[in-house]
Chains A and B, each alone.
Chain A
Amino acid sequence: MAEKSSESKNPLVKFILWIIEGLERTVFLGLKFTLPKRYLSPLGFLGMLTTVVFVTLGITGGILLYYYVPTLSGAFESVRRIDQVIPYGFMFRNIHYHASNAMVFLAAAHLYYQYFSGRYKIKNEIIWVTGIILGTVTVIEAYTGYDLLLNQRAVLAINIGSSLTNASPVIGPLLQQAILGSGFSDIVIRFYALHVFILPIAMLVLMMLHFPRYLVLDIPMNLAITGAILMLGGLFPVDLGVKFDPDLPPGITVPEWYVSAPYAFIRTGYEKFTTGGLLPALFILMFLVVPFIDKARKFSWADRPFFTAVGIASIGQIVVTTTWGFYINPNIELALIERLEIQPGLFYSTMVLISLICFGLTYVFLRYVKARQIAARARGRQPPGFILALSRKWVNVVILSLVIFQGVLNVMAYQSFELGFKNLSIFHAGAILISLSIIVHLYRYGIQLPRQIQPA
């Protein structure tokens, strides 16, 4: 960004540019950040968006540490206090929760975009492999996070995680004791250590090995995604759940969506380690080895029907198994264990069937698309679609009205908080960020327009 050093810049801009120039000597600007001057499809920089959400999680999580108590008797109560007593604690917890979901989702979307566009090729194998590991650690990080709440849902997840570890061959019990200690007090403090320090540090190290040198930092899109997270936090405020009481048998709960697929596997009743551990591991392994199998020189998804079909089939499989994870037999007459059981025949057949259908349809569809493309190329290029072009004056008008809109939203956010509608308030705050993202986008568009001669 330090390409212009004209005299017209004000001292503040000069100072910032001076700092950026100085930073070029550091490791930090070994990464080349590009601030795009126009709208780009966010699909191309989903990884950067994931990183921004990671930073959001770091900030909100750090603040939550001030009040969270990692003990057996204190954990749930401290979260309740954050949620209900501490001013704006509800906000931080909601943003943290929804950002964690957004991070897992964005990471998965990033994976699939890179997969379908064949970006794991051309010497990007290391970036790809570290990315897969990073994604796995991200899910574990999210898992340890929602366990810290120590409600019934968290304890269900802890129990399943521990029994899976336990079921590993030979070293299972040792591994269980080494990772989880012995008892719920140990688990809370250990997951706390893992969640707030060990795993994030591991993620930072992995990021160093994962970041490509050229990065797109699209400020409007980052603002919009943060705004969307806040709005989701307002629309679907995360609840506290039921406090874990060892003397009360837990009601029926399901784990978070990113671990509900392994949960479905376990509930089929087959051997735990194979179904809950090995099969998901096999799934991850498939992605790990893909760059070493797909050696063809073609990149586009349309040119690689087999691998695209595999990708779509894997999405189909994720959808099916995740949905099964949420399925509970609605017949309340049955015993709990019978309601939780998933018929293995039904489960595995739907999984295989849907995967095969996805694979077959995609494969056939891509053949068709290829034929269409060849036909289209013969016809010649299509004219570009509709483009909205604002004049400099209208850019000013729209920005000003958005500023007024934000002012109104500010008042509304304040008022709704005062009235106790915390979720409405957080929704308004998110809307403000989205509005700001539009302003920043219009600004970067507007400053590139030729300056009109002002009439005297």
Chain B
Amino acid sequence: MKLAALGGVVTAITPYIPYGAFLTQGGGTGTAERQRVILSDGTVANAKRFPTNSSQIIVYPRSGDRDQDAEPFKRFQLIRLPSPAGDPNAASAFRAYSMICVHLWCLWNYLPQFKQMQCPCHGSIYRVEDGLAIDGPASQQTPPNNALPKLDLEVDEAGDLWVLPPNWNVDENGIVGYGRKVQ
């Protein structure tokens, strides 16, 4: 009888376990839609005009609300690779990484002269090709805690850049502020 009663209690509790998902739906993870890449001057990023070996801050997901878009976790940097492998105007010539350093959440900068990203706080250095930390404290963390989350990009016929709806998990786009598995 005790066992049956215990079974009753356990089965009564189990449906509430998934309720824990209520806690993990933070601001950055909710929406997932295809959005144009808008640069800081308000124009759409275009593959024909964006300079090689340069970067610009973009916001994703962009809401249009100034306060909401100020969230550092929504900040990414669009980088055009200095020497892309394939078609220079294809999406493969661009990268968009989360600006949150996976070490202690400072915001890194892209240094064109070194062709790498560097965090000003503790000197973590990331490789531009895949966002993997190659030096500094971030590189000492265990995977997937050692690579920057990224956005998948697409270039349309006009050359405009689009952000594809991301999947925020470590195997795909990564988790902002946490990391990503680099294949």
Q: Which residues of A contact B (CB under 8 A)?
A: 71-74, 155, 158-160, 162-163, 166, 173-174, 176-186, 246-247, 249-250, 335-337, 340
Contact = CB atoms under 8 A, between A and B. Distances in A.
Given A179-B23, A183-B74, 11 more contacts: A73-B67, A73-B70, A155-B105, A159-B104, A176-B177, A176-B178, A181-B23, A181-B26, A181-B27, A183-B72, A186-B28
A147 to B, nearest CB: 13
Given A163-B104, A177-B23, A337 B70 contact: no
Given A71-B67, A182-B29, A183-B71, A159 B178 contact: no
A185 B71 contact: yes
Given A166-B178, A250-B106, A337 B122 contact: yes
Contacts of B177: 162, 176, 182-183
Given A163-B103, A335-B123, A178 B136 contact: no
Given A159-B105, A177-B23, A72 B70 contact: yes
Contacts of A249: 106, 120-121
A66 to B, nearest CB: 21
Contacts of B43: none
Interface in B121-147: 121-123, 136-137, 145
B75 interface: yes
B122 to A, nearest CB: 4
A178 B29 CA distance: 12
Contacts of B20: 178
Interface residues of B, number: 33
25 contacts: A71-B67, A72-B70, A72-B71, A73-B66, A73-B70, A74-B67, A158-B105, A159-B106, A162-B105, A163-B103, A176-B177, A177-B24, A179-B23, A181-B24, A181-B26, A183-B28, A183-B71, A183-B177, A184-B73, A185-B27, A246-B106, A247-B107, A249-B106, A249-B121, A337-B137
Interface of B: 20, 23-24, 26-29, 66-68, 70-75, 103-107, 120-123, 136-137, 145, 170, 175-178
Contacts of B66: 73
Nearest to A71: B67
Nearest to A177: B24
B43 to A, nearest CB: 21
Contact of A184 (B23, B29, B72, B122): B72
Contacts of A159: 104-106
A246 B72 contact: yes
Contacts of B75: 246
A183 B98 CA distance: 12
A168 to B, nearest CB: 12
Indicate the member of A166, A178, A183 with the most B CB atoms within 10 Å.
Answer: A183
Contacts of B170: 173
Contacts of B123: 335-337
A155 B121 CA distance: 13
A182 B27 CA distance: 6
Contacts of A246: 72, 75, 106-107
Given A159-B104, A183-B73, A250 B176 contact: no
A182 B29 CA distance: 7
Contacts of A74: 67
Contacts of B121: 249-250, 336
A75 to B, nearest CB: 11
Contacts of B73: 182-185
A185 B121 CA distance: 21
B67 A72 contact: yes
B134 to A, nearest CB: 16
Contacts of B104: 159-160, 163
Contacts of A180: 26
A232 B170 CA distance: 49
